[in-house]
Amino acid sequence: MKHAFSLVFSCLLLLTGCVQQEKRLLPIEGNSVYFWRTTFRLDSTERTFLDRHDVHRIYCRYFDVVNDERQGPMPNATVMFAQTLPDSLEIVPVVFIMNDCMQGRHQGLARKLVDRILQMNETNDVKNVKELQIDCDYTARNRTIYYDFLKEVRREAAAHGFLLSTTIRLHQLSMPVPPADYGVLMLYNTGNPEQFTERNPILDLRDVKPYLSHLKDYALPLAAAYPVFLWQRELHGVHIEHVADYTDIIRTKRLVEAERKDMRQFVLTYHLDQENVKRYTTEQYEAIYHH
């Protein structure tokens, strides 16, 4: 009798584990890239990069949402499409929402946002859209407002047959999961830009490691986004350039995937640009994208 009970109990545990794993399966897979410029135009170098690395999905920032003191949340810095998109490319409209827009509730904002995306798609003949993404550096203080907003966006998106994803920053891993189909873990801008003499603020393993313990139990399916960009700025009168070291990207990728094997399934790079394409070799990009 004891053996029979143990067998049944073991089977239940196995089934529970399978259900939990199934819940974390990403609805999509493959290689993708962010596009974060205000004019959408692909040159020959960028098109070659997409073909060479089998990238068929571009997460394109459509516009930002900023908080106007008199009118409330307003669109800003809208992307302009300067060329017709190839049929082979799937576009994921991304909207970046400033944190102060989520300090209070704004009735109808979700519908306005989705309607604006639909209008931009129609105006620019963007047809291959299956998903929307919301990017916001929300905090524990405004998390509830942001999650309620996401629920509304998800309902509006689903009415048009779209998935909804959201970005996840490292510090947000300790919070309850957002109401989205999956999240993209941003493995960049991990450090304090004021401490430029000590660490690389784009990516430093010392800044990533403390958050990795949250990955296994994080109940939302996750993709990973890695930095391939150059950051130039002036700080205290000094010109500074930051770039993520390839070795650090690969070491981070290995640590992340050791905690969550499912994060090998879908990798993004941030972001598509002629100079960023040249920053790493073809072999290095293949290693970053490797599943």
Q: Select 30-286's CATH number: 2.40.50.700, 3.90.550.10, 3.20.20.80, 3.30.110.70.
A: 3.20.20.80
Domain boundaries, the chain: 30-286
User: What pLDDT is stored for residue 243 in this prediction?
Assistant: 94
Q: Single out the residue of 80, 85, 78 nearest to residue 126, CA to CA.
A: 85
**Whole-number Å distance between alpha carbons of 272 and 47:** 10
Helical (H) or strand (E) element with 22: helix 2-23
Q: What pLDDT score does 20 carry?
A: 45
Percentage of the residues of the chain whose pLDDT score is greater than 70: 90
Predicted confidence at residue 196, as pLDDT, reads 60
Q: What is the DSSP string of 144-179?
A: HHHHHHHHHHHHHHHHTT-EEEEEE-GGGGGSPPPS
**Whole-prediction pTM value?**
0.91
The more confident residue out of 58 and 5 is 58
Length, in residues, of the chain? 291
Model confidence at 276, pLDDT cuts 50, 70, 90, reads: very high
Dihedral-angle region of residue 76 (phi above 0 means left; psi in -120 to 50 means alpha; beta otherwise): beta
Q: If you average pLDDT over every residue of the chain, what do you get?
A: 91
Q: What is the pLDDT of residues 107-156, one digit of tens each?
A: 999 999 999 999 999 999 999 999 999 999 999 999 999 999 999 999 99
Average pLDDT over residues 224-236: 90
- Residue 61: pLDDT band (50, 70, 90) is very high
pLDDT at position 197 is 63
What digits encode the pLDDT tens for the residues 73-114? Answer: 999 999 999 999 988 899 999 999 999 999 999 999 999 999
pLDDT at residue 3, rounded to an integer: 53
Find where tokens 């949340």 sit.
73
Average pLDDT score over residue span 254-273? 96
Rounded CA separation 58/82 (Å): 16
Q: Which residue has the tokens 């998109």?
A: 85
